[in-house]
Amino acid sequence: MERTANSFLGTEPVGKLMKKYALPCIISLLVGALYNIVDQIFIANADYLGSYGNAANTVVFPLTVIALAIAVMIGDGCCAFVSLSLGKREPEKAKRSVGNSVVITVLASLVLSAVYLVFSSSIIRMFGGTVNPGTYSCSKEYFFYITLGIPFYMFGQAMNPVIRADGSPAFAMVSTLAGAVINIILDPVFIFVCRWGMMGAALATVIGQAATAFLAVGYLVNMKQVKPSREDFRPDALVIRKTLILGLTSFLSQISLVAAMAAINNMIRKYGALDPIFGQEQYAQIPMAVVGIVMKFFQIVISIVVGMAAGCIPIVGFNMGAGLKLRVRSLFTRLLIAEAAVGAVALLIVELFPRQLIGIFGASNESSYYTDFAVRAFRIYLCMMVFACVNKACFIFLQAMGKAAESTALSVIREIVFGVGLALLLPRFFALDGVLYSMPVSDILTFIAALFLIIRTYKEIGGESVTLSNEVSKEPIG
């Protein structure tokens, strides 16, 4: 088993493997992102919710990301651990990682749900939900029902990369897609037909997440290659530690978004109150609603970017474990080029079609102030998308190589030092526009640091510096 399981990862053309693993991962992450985005689209187009519901969605969004951060730390860490173990012909360690990951996912999800239920009012205030009474009311309702689905959400998200590591990226994609389809079907029924408002949007999401979780359970019972036994579910401190360290970058990349959103939402509330337009109560929710929408588009793009990189984790881990560094270098080259191309396409979209993008989220029902601020937000906040995409690819690739320290350090610099620090600093000089400037400035500064690590990584896995174009030409696309 050890000789044949996943051995194709070390022999098939790199381009073919990227397509096989990255595409299902991209679709899985895109579908996962669509839960919150679809909710927001239907909420925005419900005349009895509008921008108040949009703002509430923005308030609750980072709280769901906390759950996602914990889930992907466990899932991506397990995926990397399993892939490295199989590459080294150590299947017993892979089994223990899967079993322990299941246990800690369940425990963590139950604890987080309890914390959310007990401290819901304080948490909503912390994330800017008190901008006005309408936003606070919608936030409370939406948050309560979303919290009930946290265990389903976390389990499905954590097991998704584990299923990919077992050699079934297509099943991982289908299980996530099934939940999203259910959400898309139920959202308009609950919001427009039943008129259940924020509760309806949340219930549609929870039902979809439960479907994904149950499919994941079904797969775990019948895994193809890594088949954990009863003993593998017993907590093993060393395995848990290694798994969580390998997933730390994924955790930081998500949790830092929460910290940044908390900073941004509070800066919006503070400096919006000083704005001659948004300081008026009837318009106070607009900046928060708009920035939330811009972040949702960014989430779509980053889902593609992270999907490409995370989909390569099993390939990178196996080949690093097997000592096939030239294949790893070829994969790194292709990934960087692909990520930069995604960023370039996204940049053209936000710069050329901001009005069309905002129109998807119910702009026709809002004032001209809403649309004008949204256009400015899209064009400024996302103007360095190419750098943002390359940075994300670098974080995850280093993680897949087992370079947890470098990956974590770069992620902390981007997401905490720059992401939070600049969001708090720049509004002092540029008011509301300072919130918008914080994103591109963070991406530029992070890219400078990432470039150093990219060059060093090429030297480590190739023995010499090579050009990107030459490297691509050496490896058949397959």
pLDDT given for residue 310 in this prediction: 79
SS3 1: coil
Q: Is 147 exposed, middle or buried (0-12, 13-18, 19+ CB in 10 A)?
A: buried
How many angstroms separate the CA atoms of 315 and 246, rounded? 15
Nearest to 118 by CA among 137, 143, 138: 143
How many angstroms separate the CA atoms of 94 and 86, rounded? 7
pLDDT given for residue 365 in this prediction: 64
* CA distances to 42, 109, 227, 294, 440 from 37, in Å: 9, 22, 36, 11, 23
Task: Extract the residue ranges of the chain whose pLDDT is less than 50.
Answer: 1-4, 463-478
Residues 6+ apart with CB under 8 A from 136: 124, 129, 130
pLDDT given for residue 323 in this prediction: 78
Sign of CA pseudo-dihedral 123, 125, 128, 133: positive
For 457-468, write each residue's pLDDT tens digit: 888 877 443 333
User: For the chain, which residues make up each domain, given as ranges?
Assistant: 13-474
DSSP character at residue 12: S
* CA distances to 38, 291, 299, 382, 439 from 442, in Å: 28, 17, 17, 11, 5
With beta carbons less than 8 A apart as the criterion, state whether 433 and 380 touch. yes
What number of CA atoms fall less than 13 Å from residue 197's CA on the CB side? 17
How many angstroms separate the CA atoms of 154 and 169, rounded? 18
With beta carbons less than 8 A apart as the criterion, state whether 362 and 50 touch. yes
How many angstroms separate the CA atoms of 78 and 158, rounded? 9
The three-point CA angle 233-236-241 to 5° equals 120
